Amino acid sequence: MKRNTYNCLLLAFIFFSLVSFGNLANASSEEISLIPLRDFFRNPEKAGYFLSPEGEYFAFLAPWENRLNIFIQKFGETEAKRVTSVTDRDLVGYFWASNERIVYARDQAGEENFHLYAVNIDGSNPVDLTPFEGVRAGVIDDLRDNDQDMLISLNKRDPRFYDAYRINIETGELKLIGENPGNIIGWLTDHEGLLRLAITSDGVNTSILYRDNESQPFQTILTTDFKETLTPVSFTYDNQRLYAFSNLGRDKSALIVFDPKTQKELELIYENTDVDVSGLLISDKKKKLIAVTYLTDKLHYHFFDEEVESIFQDLTKKIPEYELALSSVNRDENRFIIRTYSDKSLGSYFLYDVETSKLQKIADISPWIDEKYMADMEPISYPSRDGLTIHGYLTLPKGVESKNLPVVINPHGGPWYRDSWGYNAEVQFLANRGYVLLQMNFRGSTGYGRTFWTAGFKQWGRKMQDDITDGVQWLIDQGIADPKRIGIYGGSYGGYAALAGITITPDLYAAAIDYVGVSNIFTLLETIPPYWEPLRQQFYEMIGHPAEDKELLESVSPVFLVDRIKTPLFIAQGANDPRVKKAESDQIVAALEKRGISVQYMVKENEGHGFANEENRFDFYRAMEGFLSEHLGGKVGP
């Protein structure tokens, strides 16, 4: 994991504005305009702002030739210089490697074998630092105090395993500093940039390996079953102990201090009774812990530093009615780039000067989006049939009475993930077309503790699907949903859930859309990427073993249940998807066509696990819009 001041997560300063269900009627006589589809899914005008280490410049992503490229601008100047010229695919991310050099990542056509590139801020000396075919690169540590090198991971020696390397950001010269014996799934450095920790897995058991310095061999200091985890996040600033998220002896992950020499938990710093602690903010300048974050309905903070807390409070007064996220901070921590956001807006970027408390707006992300036409995303919960509480989000279309409406059920991917509150282009697009959107964090979703997460093990198509079905019934019971106009749409695991929905509950849905989803669990497990191979046994325990659980997996793999499908189906797939192979979509399309059933099938040859290219997004959502309108009766816009 790349080390970064304040642990640059998407961090929000929360206004506690829970709304009761009784306020969700959302009825209005106001005429709601149909917004052009392209406005929802075009690339942002400007996004991804990061300060240079000294704070003299900022970089950002902006479209050039319809692709997101990197631009550099000096504070006080009005013109920005473009330093990359990609035309085939948006850049997936970048960071400042020094005051003079930017490092960025990109893959080819969605295959996810990311290369690391570097370029000077004047556009000179562009270098592919990892020019290895079929190799995937990652950043272990950007070495913030070293302007020449960084630490990266590569599966160059063996596609299954990531070794650790020191790499020169000017030349790409590599030096192997940590050879993976075949079971290491992660590396961690201390605050001096020394490789001190490794995480291993045999597929079921996870171990932490530790050493006092790089001249010593790694020694195992803790081994746990993967369900009980102690996840090191950062060394303490004396480089002797670890900040870690731990659910050992507790259901919810808490922030603790762990001593690697005694193998003991020394201090419980913070825990929440309802959800896992999810993020850590530390200050390299102050050399201390600043705050932890946790996600319930929205993102919340628990602060340990009064000065930073007062800064956040000052910002919330200066920018009311929005959540705030920290985008970037310079090395001296006296300049922040802040991003606003809400459920109705991707927001804007602001520069905040700590010494003067001055706030300066830099740019709007998508200024063409008019918030008054966007719908409210409200946190909700409902009971599962066996007594669990399922949390989620309900978005109701504006301008109509919330009764007897067409619905799109939208289960998330992963499935070991969770939905959260904020602007979602898909949700707002469909709400603008007249649909109710329900997103639910079914059992197996992360963030709600170990018991809730493990309740989803081997429950694909079973209790996990029941939680989705129970959400549909809840909407019907509330009078919101028209039972004859309910559709289901999802990507990845959500695509599987859409297929499971129309095979396991074939009378429930009037339309279904599977986006890069799983149709056959056997072939999914057979074709996992080689770098997931160390986790194979874990997948077997979480999903099912193809031999030991053969009957179970057959009973919940949609490709074997196609004789039950009577719901209109639209499938979209990237040809180069390394996670859910194109064969997952091909085989269910073939099975249906064998029965004489035509399926609307979209394949994009230059995409992977989801459509990244703007023109492909336009095609997909235009087809989705027409498909849902035909079968659920929603609107079609410009």
d(CA 478, CA 375): 19
Residue 64's contacts (CB-CB under 8 Å, 6 or more residues apart) are: 82, 85
609 is a catalytic site residue: yes
Active-site residue (options: 246, 577, 629, 631): 577
577 is a catalytic site residue: yes
Q: 189, 185, 217: which is closest to 204 by C-alpha?
A: 185
Q: State residue 460 phi and psi, 5-degree precision.
A: -60, 130
Q: State residue 109 phi and psi, 5-degree precision.
A: 55, 30
Strand (E) positions, 65-204? 67-74, 81-82, 93-96, 101-106, 115-120, 127-128, 137-141, 149-158, 161-168, 174-178, 184-189, 195-201
Cis peptide upstream of residue 406 (ω within 30 degrees of 0): no
List the beta bridge partners of residue 73.
58
d(CA 527, CA 533): 10
Q: Is 596 left (phi over 0), alpha (psi -120 to 50) or beta?
A: left
191 is a catalytic site residue: no
* Residue 409 near residue 485 (C-beta atoms within 8 A): no
Would you state the structure tokens that stand for residue 327, as one six-digit string? 């985008």
Rounded to whole angstroms, what are the CA distances from 300 to 14, 220, 297, 338? 6, 35, 9, 16
Number of other residues whose CB lies within 10 A of the CB of residue 574: 29
Active-site residue (options: 412, 609, 629, 631): 609
Number of other residues whose CB lies within 10 A of the CB of residue 68: 24
Active-site residue (options: 52, 348, 492, 557): 492
* Residue 394 near residue 24 (C-beta atoms within 8 A): yes
Kindly state the DSSP code that residue 13 receives in the 8-state scheme: B
Kindly state the DSSP code that residue 61 receives in the 8-state scheme: E
Rounded to whole angstroms, what are the CA distances from 577 to 130, 534, 603? 21, 20, 11
d(CA 181, CA 532): 15
* DSSP letters spanning 240-266: SSEEEEE-TTSSS-EEEEEETTTTEEE
Please identify every residue annotated as catalytic. 492, 577, 609
